């Protein structure tokens, strides 16, 4: 085979791989903004109490997760009076989904969460919205947790995330779209 032919075959295989990645389901993240901006689109999801503007393209996506786990946790809840004294203390069960990222995804996820501090981020698989937590700090760890009070919703989200588990030992493909 001639060198040019090898180049053409390699190029075609790369194109096929790129389009195949876009066809696979992905865990997608969209930063929700209060104000309209260039290349934004309006979004409203009543079930998640979301209304705002998101990038017209996904801010970040992951095609494969290293791991995911569902656990039951006990949450302590405290309500304080204006003077700082404890008004009410209670505990309740919640469900924690632990999501493990690969090395490439971890760096990109840290960048996304760093830009999102104080904002909500819509998390979805394809066009199916899962939840929209508020980001309080930059997350620069190999895993992160989502805490959900509703057991059925937690199990559904965990089931959807399990579909993205890595099945082959290749490097995780994740990159920001900007």
The least confident of 13-22, 47-56, 152-161 is 13-22
Dist. CA 2–CA 131, nearest whole Å: 52
What is the helix (H) or strand (E) element at residue 15, kind and residue range?
helix 3-23
Q: Please tell me the predicted confidence (pLDDT) of residue 2.
A: 55
Neighbour count for residue 137 (Cβ, 10 Å) = 9
pLDDT band at residue 127, thresholds of 50, 70 and 90?
confident
Dist. CA 131–CA 149, nearest whole Å: 12
pTM above 0.75, yes or no: no
Residue 8 has pLDDT above 60, yes or no: no
pLDDT band at residue 91, thresholds of 50, 70 and 90?
very high
Per-residue buried b or exposed e for 38-58, using 16+ beta carbons within 10 Å of the residue's own CB: eeeeebeeeebebebbbbeeb
pLDDT band at residue 167, thresholds of 50, 70 and 90?
low
Q: Please tell me the predicted confidence (pLDDT) of residue 111.
A: 94
Give the three-class secondary structure for 157: helix
Dist. CA 47–CA 113, nearest whole Å: 23
Q: Please tell me the predicted confidence (pLDDT) of residue 104.
A: 85
Mean pLDDT of 91-114: 92
pLDDT band at residue 174, thresholds of 50, 70 and 90?
very low
The radius of gyration computed from the CA coordinates of the chain, to the nearest angstrom, equals 20
What is the helix (H) or strand (E) element at residue 159, kind and residue range?
helix 151-162
Mean pLDDT of 53-61: 92
Q: Please tell me the predicted confidence (pLDDT) of residue 14.
A: 47
Dist. CA 42–CA 36, nearest whole Å: 8
pLDDT band at residue 16, thresholds of 50, 70 and 90?
very low
Domains of the chain: 25-176 (3.30.1360)
Residue 31 has pLDDT above 50, yes or no: yes
């Amino acid at each position: 085979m001639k060198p040019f032919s090898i180049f053409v075959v390699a190029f075609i295989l790369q194109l096929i791989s790129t389009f195949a990645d876009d066809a696979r389901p992905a865990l997608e993240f969209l930063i929700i903004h209060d104000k309209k901006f260039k290349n934004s689109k309006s979004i409203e999801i009543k079930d998640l109490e979301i209304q705002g503007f998101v990038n017209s393209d996904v801010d970040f996506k992951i095609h494969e997760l290293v791991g995911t786990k569902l656990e039951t946790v006990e949450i302590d809840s405290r309500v304080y009076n204006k003077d700082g004294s404890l008004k009410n203390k209670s505990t309740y069960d919640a469900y924690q989904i632990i999501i493990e990222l690969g090395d490439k995804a971890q760096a990109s996820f840290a960048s996304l969460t760093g830009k999102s501090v104080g904002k909500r981020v819509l998390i979805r698989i394809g066009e199916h919205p899962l939840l929209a937590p508020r980001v309080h700090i930059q997350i620069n760890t190999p895993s992160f947790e989502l805490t959900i009070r509703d057991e059925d919703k937690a199990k559904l989200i965990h089931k959807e995330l399990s579909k993205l588990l890595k099945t082959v030992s290749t490097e995780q493909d994740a990159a920001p779209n900007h």
